[in-house]
Amino acid sequence: MTVTRFAPSPNGALHLGHAYAAIVAADRAAQDGGTMLLRIEDIDGPRSRPELADEFRADLAWLGLSWREVGAQSGRIAAYRAAAASLRADGLLYPCSCTRAEIAAHATQSGPDGPIYPGTCRHRPPAPDAPLAWRLDMAAAVSRAGPLTWFDERRGEQRAEPAMFGDVVLWRKDAPASYHLAATLDDATDGVSVVTRGIDLFRASHVHRLLQALLDLPVPRWHHHPVLVGADGHKLAKRRGSAGLAERRRAGEDGAALRIAIQAGLFDTGVSLADTIDLAP
Ligand code: GLU
């Protein structure tokens, strides 16, 4: 059975870009008579406003979508911790006390998520009493896992190249698990068979494929869909002036008509689809 997912973070109101993502996930599931899951990704520290989840449900219902909700990330911390402990027991994680400023000062290369960690803490004891993050020793992890591939339904077979991220953080200082660890574990736990998400996260899947190998998790397929951009070529964001779905819903707009327009590729003025991996942040 095909299981896709829509996994919004309750950091702000949903907008047209989210509506598009949810519709793609729902339509991709429906194509095979499957199910779209809703998962609230609410572990982003103080930015997370769990009360927004009710608004999200109302927005999806307004668009005329159906879904099955699974547990929010805040209820799964023990599972993330256990996975991090197992990677640590395998010698694949090391503690890191570097601040953002230290990393920026020493980094010489840049990866998909910003500066590549220069490896400062890889072979030294962490600073005493400093808050610690835990990083994946990428070289050791890649050599443990061996060559890996993954399959994107729109872009075909991919050779996994997680090393482009360097030693990613899997356990954060300021919040529990990192996005990479939490999303990978959740998709496995929730039985997601097709990971539906925006093309802007395409490269993250290299890291997720590696984590699946290291943690012995099932390997789904991926479906990275285009994302909506504004006239400036940037991904739509509430702060860039895109009207929120809740706002439109309260203003009396017809949600089902909006869904049909989106399915037909008709967006607001100045809004279009971008299908490029190198999307301007
Ligand atoms: N929670 C992420 C977001 O709202 C989506 C992550 C994913 O789809 O894997 O952007």
Q: What is the DSSP string of 178-218?
A: -HHHHHHHHHHHTT-SEEEEEGGGTTHHHHHHHHHHHHT--
d(CA 274, CA 261): 17
Higher-confidence residue of 279 and 172: namely: 172
Helix (H, G, I), strand (E, B) or coil at 194: strand
Quote the CA–CA distance of 262 and 265 in Å, as a whole number.
5
Model confidence at 280, pLDDT cuts 50, 70, 90, reads low
Nearest to 205 by CA among 158, 260, 269: 158
User: What confidence score (pLDDT) does residue 278 get?
Assistant: 83
- Residue with the two structure tokens 């997680």: 162
Q: What does the pLDDT read at residue 51?
A: 87
pLDDT digits (tens, 9 = 90+) for 257-270: 999 999 999 999 99
Structure tokens at 161: 């190249």
Three-state DSSP state, 115:
strand
Q: What is the pTM of this model?
A: 0.96
First to last CA, the chain: 35
Compute φ and ψ for 216, nearest 5 degrees: 60, 45
Please name the CATH architecture into which domain 3-72+226-274 falls. Answer: 3-Layer(aba) Sandwich (3.40)
Strands of 35-38's sheet in order across: 3-6, 35-38, 68-69
Check for a shared fold between 3-72+226-274 and 77-179: yes
Domain limits of the chain? 3-72+226-274, 77-179
pLDDT of residue 257: 98
CA of 40 to the centre of ligand 1 (A): 9
Q: What is the pLDDT of residues 89-113, one digit of tens each?
A: 999 999 999 999 999 999 999 999 8
18, 60, 179: which to mutate for ligand 1, most atoms within 8 A of CB?
Answer: 179
Residue 92 CB coordination number (10 Å): 20
Q: Which atom of ligand 1 is nearest to the CA of 11?
A: 4
Tell me: the pLDDT tens digits for 107-141? 999 999 899 999 999 988 878 888 899 999 999 99
197, 205, 223: residue to mutate for ligand 1 pocket, most atoms within 8 A of CB = 197
CATH fit for domain 77-179, picks 3.40.50.2020, 3.40.50.620, 3.40.50.2300, 3.30.750.24: 3.40.50.620
Average pLDDT over residues 25-33: 98
pLDDT digits (tens, 9 = 90+) for 176-231: 899 999 999 999 999 999 999 999 999 999 999 999 999 999 999 999 999 999 98
AA identity, residue 255? G
